[in-house]
Amino acid sequence: MTALPDMTMEKLRNLEILTHKDKLEEISDRASKEYSNSKIMQKMKEEWEPLEFTCHEVPGKDSYILSGEAVEIIQTILDDHIIKTQTMKGSPFAKFMIE
C-alpha cells in the first residue's frame, strides 16, 4: 500500500476538492457498501472453517452417513448463508463478487 502525501485543508482547497464533493461522497458510499459485502462473504467462509463432522460407514453398503447433530448444524448455517447470499446478490454493490 502506498503512502498518501501529506494533505492539509489548504492543499484540498487548492485542489478545489469541494467542487467534487458529490462524486467523492458517491464513491465513498459505494466503496463502504462493497467493503461491507466483502466482510460478510469472508465471515461466511470463516464460519465453515472450524466445523468438523464425523461420518460412519453404513453396514453392508459402500456409503457413509453423517453422525450426531451434523445435519442440523449444516442446515442451519446453509439457511443463514442462503439468505445472506440472496440479499447480497440483489445488491448493486456485490456485482464484483458474483463471478
Q: What 3 state SS string does 37-82 have? A: HHHHHHHHHHHHCCCCCCEEECCCCCCEEECCCHHHHHHHHHHHHH
Return the pLDDT at 42.
Answer: 93
* Predicted confidence (pLDDT) per residue in 18-68, tens digit: 888 899 899 999 889 889 888 999 999 999 999 888 888 999 999 999 888
Domain limits, the chain: 9-97
Return the pLDDT at 93.
Answer: 78
Residue 54, amino acid: T
